[in-house]
Each structure stands twice: as structure tokens, then as C-alpha cells.
Amino acid sequence: MSLKDQITEDMKTAMRARDSERLGTIRLLLAAAKQKEVDERVVLDDVAMVAIIDKLIKQRKDSVAAYLQAQRQDLADKESAEITVLQAYLPQRLSAEEVTSAVQAIVAELGAKGPGDMGKVMGAAKTRLAGKADMGQVSAAVKAALAG
């Protein structure tokens, strides 16, 4: 069963259980997926779905930070609950140590030295680690590897 099919089944389950918060988040996810399919005239595979989920989680994290800064804990809690629902659909992520070792291997492979090579290393890291690791964590590991 593809990730998209699993999400659709979970939507039906949430409808039956009358779980309105979970249902709303799943509907947002499916709407974002449908929008991408219509815009690009493609059928999304699991990798593309993970990319959409990552994007939605990043948006929610940014919103939580903004709401906390504005002292709106109620809205921050709502966004945090949506993050929890979305994270359930992501594959198992690499640990910080695994990300660091993967980045160090890429740096060594490319012979990158110094901050000027960050774009080259990030490009390679993005293709290898997309969907497997948080790209913010990857970026921090690349900066650390190139600085040291």
C-alpha cells in the first residue's frame, strides 16, 4: 500500500471515529498532495509525499515559533498537534550520528574544503538524504564538517 493510500485510509478511519482534529490535518495533507498533482500533472509516489509532509511540518514549526513569540499558546498547541499527526507518516529518520557520518562521507568524497563548497555538498546531501533526515540537521552537519 502506497503512503498516499495509507493516508486516505487513515482519513476514513478518522471520519468514522469522529476525530475532527486528526481529520482536518489529514485533509490538509491530501489537499496539498492533490494540488501538487494537478499543478504538475503527475501521480505522486512515496518520495514526493514525504517531501510534501516535510514541507507542511516545516510550515507548522515556523507557525509555532511565531505564535509563541506572539504569546498565543492556544494556536501554538494546535499547530504542534498537527505536527504530531504529520510526523506519523514520515519514515524512520536517521540519528544525529548517522547524519554526521553521512555528511562527512560526502565531504570526503567530493573533496570539499571550506564554507565555499557548502552548496556543492548540500546538493549531494539533499539527493542522498532527502526523506531520511531533517534537512536543517543536515545543513548544520555540513556547516560543522566544512568549518572543521
What is residue 46's predicted lDDT score, i.e. its pLDDT? 81
Please return the burial class of 143, using the count of CB atoms within 10 Å of its CB with bins 0-12, 13-18 and 19+. middle
What is residue 138's predicted lDDT score, i.e. its pLDDT? 82
Q: Are 53 and 7 in a shared domain? A: yes
CATH at residue 125: 1.10.10.410
Q: Are 105 and 81 in a shared domain? A: no
Q: Are 68 and 114 in a shared domain? A: no
Q: Are 42 and 13 in a shared domain? A: yes
Domain carrying residue 126? 96-147
Q: Are 79 and 137 in a shared domain? A: no
Q: Are 8 and 47 in a shared domain? A: yes
Single pTM value for the model: 0.74
**122: its cell numbers:** 548540500
What is residue 1's predicted lDDT score, i.e. its pLDDT? 80
pLDDT, greater one: 134 or 8: 8
pLDDT tens digit sequence for 71-114: 999 999 999 999 999 989 888 877 888 888 888 888 887 777 77
pLDDT tens digit sequence for 10-41: 999 999 999 999 999 999 999 999 999 999 99
Between CA 53 and CA 29 the distance in angstroms is: 7
Given a cut of 80, whether residue 130 has pLDDT beyond it is no
Q: Are 10 and 34 in a shared domain? A: yes
Q: Are 80 and 107 in a shared domain? A: no
Least confident of 35-49, 66-80, 122-136: 122-136
- Report, as an integer, the average pLDDT of 3-11: 91
DSSP state of 114: S
Q: Are 23 and 74 in a shared domain? A: yes
Q: Are 18 and 60 in a shared domain? A: yes
- For residue 85, the tally of other CB atoms under 10 A from its CB is 22
Q: Which ranges in the chain belong to alpha helices (H)?
A: 3-17, 20-40, 46-69, 73-87, 96-110, 118-129, 135-147
Q: Are 132 and 74 in a shared domain? A: no
Domain count across the chain: 2
Phi, psi of 127 (to 5 degrees): -70, -35
Between CA 56 and CA 62 the distance in angstroms is: 10
> Under a CB-based contact definition with an 8 Å cutoff, are residues 83 and 67 in contact?
no
